[in-house]
Homo-oligomer: A and B are copies of this chain.
Amino acid sequence: MKLLKTLAPAALLLAAPAMGLAQEAEPAAAAAPDINPYIFTTLLFLVGGFLVFWMAAGFAMLEAGLVRSKNVTMQLTKNISLFSIAAIMYWLVGFNLMYPGDGWIIQGYLGILISPTSLEPVGLAADAAALDYASVGSDFFFQLMFCATTASIVSGTLAERIKLWPFLIFVVVLTGFIYPIEASWQWGGGWLSEAGFSDFAGSTLVHAAGGWAALAGALILGPRIGKYKDGRTVPMPGSNLALATLGTFILWLGWFGFNGGSQLAMGTVGDVTDVSRIFANTNMAAAAGAVAALILTSVMYGKADLTMVLNGALAGLVSITAEPLAPSLFMALVTGAIGGGIVVVTVPMLDKLKIDDVVGAIPVHLIAGIWGTLAVAFYTGNWGAQILGIVAIGIFTFVVSAVVWFILKATMGIRVGEEEEINGLDMAELGMEAYPEFSKG
């Protein structure tokens, strides 16, 4: 491919009758005079995709900063592993499950999947291989990142007590099956999209879904030893707030790709204008969430709380994700600020329920995700469809996740021993400290 291109650039392109030899089947649009929309939209997926990839680093830093230092190596290991597993499972199963072509289960599937030089860029069955508006490879790359994000949400909640391998097996099921199935209901053209449900970039499909899976895990796993004692909540402060802040900035940056890329088109003046509006709204919601949490914690507790400000920004981002295009900047501010407020209010509520969510992922992703999805009805007017989607995705993700967690608990166990938990997972499970030279205070 590269060879042909390099050997005779302009002449080949001008003559061009043999372009069917290209690695990916040329979509019909290529024959039209203006092929730029295809290039622009593919570029949107690539840039959006690498920005959302970067969110994996954001989750890793945020969670590594919010756990105690004795569990940092484990949290890092879980994060890089879960992303890698998601990348494989979404290719092996998820993408085809989410966007089914006519015949992905046909006999050709496995053959194409493992063909060493398959013309299909992503191991898809032939029927699903070509899009007319962008490259399949870029679409796969972009969609994969959303699948991985869903898994990243879970790891933070369950930190500091879950074993490595049961967690990773859950990730296999989540990224290969649970996420692709529920997401296909909407983005794969399934029954929810037909019912009028609207979730632009995944407040429910990605964030609340991850939050439900985390909640199921937290309930079955139980809180950390010593977290709830004599009716009060014992603070277990994160070991490195600079890392946690870095992680938040990374997530904020990546979210421009998450929401902006979800426009799924950039090749016309209207589309690129919409992408711009999404960028501006996304930024505004994050800022409003941070400021809301800053003001609220200062008023409620007399002191600003950095971890709340960080989670406030993230909740603002989750809130605007279901509809980042329709709102004016003022409404983006309102939406994000309510998201930030939700975090400040619900973090202590979860503690009262003795649900131990180490990094606050449930308030940020699940509760703010529900808020953001509901808020879409201000623009569509269809409250019923929004509630239907929230409930359907919630029940499915929570129940299936709970079943998987139960099976894992019953078979291999999901929680480390008491001594291991107290000494920290790093030494007990990995034999490796994250900061071996810094003595504990």
A-to-B contact residues, CB < 8 Å: 1-10, 13, 19, 22-24, 26-27, 29-30, 35-36, 38-40, 42-43, 45-47, 49-51, 53-54, 56-57, 60-61, 64-65, 68-69, 72-73, 76-77, 79-81, 83-85, 87-88, 91, 113-118, 120-123, 132-133, 135-138, 140-141, 144, 164-165, 200, 237-243, 245-246, 248-250, 252-253, 256, 260, 263-277, 279-280, 283-284, 286-288, 290-291, 294, 298, 303-307, 309-310, 313, 325-331, 333, 378-379, 429-441
Q: Is the CB of B330 within 8 A of A113?
A: yes
Q: Is the CB of B305 within 8 A of A379?
A: no
User: With A27-B269, A279-B137 in contact, is A116–B438 under 8 Å at CB?
Assistant: no
The residue that A241 contacts in the complex, of B72, B248, B273, B431, with Cβ under 8 A, is B72
User: Chain A contact residues: over half helix, strand or loop, or mixed?
Assistant: helix
Which residues of chain B are near A57, meaning CB under 8 Å? 246, 249-250, 253
The residue that A2 contacts in the complex, of B87, B263, B438, with Cβ under 8 A, is B263
User: With A38-B269, A77-B309, A114-B330 in contact, is A200–B2 under 8 Å at CB?
Assistant: yes
Q: Which residue of B lies closest to A340 (CB)?
A: B84
Q: Which residue of B lies closest to A60 (CB)?
A: B245
Q: How far is the CA of A61 from the CA of B65 in the complex (A)?
A: 14
- Taking the nearest CB of chain B, how far is it from the CB of A266, in angstroms? 7
Q: Which residue of B lies closest to A334 (CB)?
A: B116
Q: Is the CB of A26 within 8 A of B441?
A: no
Which residues of chain B are near A136, meaning CB under 8 Å? 276
Q: Is the CB of A40 within 8 A of B39?
A: yes
Q: How far is the CA of A133 from the CA of B9 in the complex (A)?
A: 9
Q: Is the CB of A437 within 8 A of B5?
A: no
Which residues of chain B are near A27, meaning CB under 8 Å? 269
The residue that A240 contacts in the complex, of B268, B270, B298, B434, with Cβ under 8 A, is B434
17 contacts between A and B (CB under 8 A): A2-B263, A24-B273, A30-B270, A42-B272, A42-B275, A60-B246, A76-B241, A76-B306, A87-B286, A91-B333, A118-B330, A242-B243, A242-B435, A303-B429, A437-B440, A439-B440, A440-B441
Q: Is the CB of B53 within 8 A of A253?
A: yes
Q: Is the CB of A283 within 8 A of B81?
A: no
The residue that A276 contacts in the complex, of B42, B144, B200, with Cβ under 8 A, is B42
Q: 16 new A-B pairs (CB below 8 Å) besides A46-B260, A84-B288, A140-B280? A: A5-B265, A22-B273, A38-B272, A45-B276, A50-B51, A81-B294, A85-B291, A115-B328, A121-B276, A121-B280, A123-B329, A138-B280, A237-B432, A239-B437, A241-B434, A242-B434
Q: Is the CB of A277 within 8 A of B135?
A: yes
Q: Which residue of B lies closest to A430 (CB)?
A: B303
The residue that A430 contacts in the complex, of B284, B304, B435, with Cβ under 8 A, is B304
User: With A253-B57, A270-B22 in contact, is A77–B306 under 8 Å at CB?
Assistant: yes
- Taking the nearest CB of chain B, how far is it from the CB of A144, in angstroms? 7
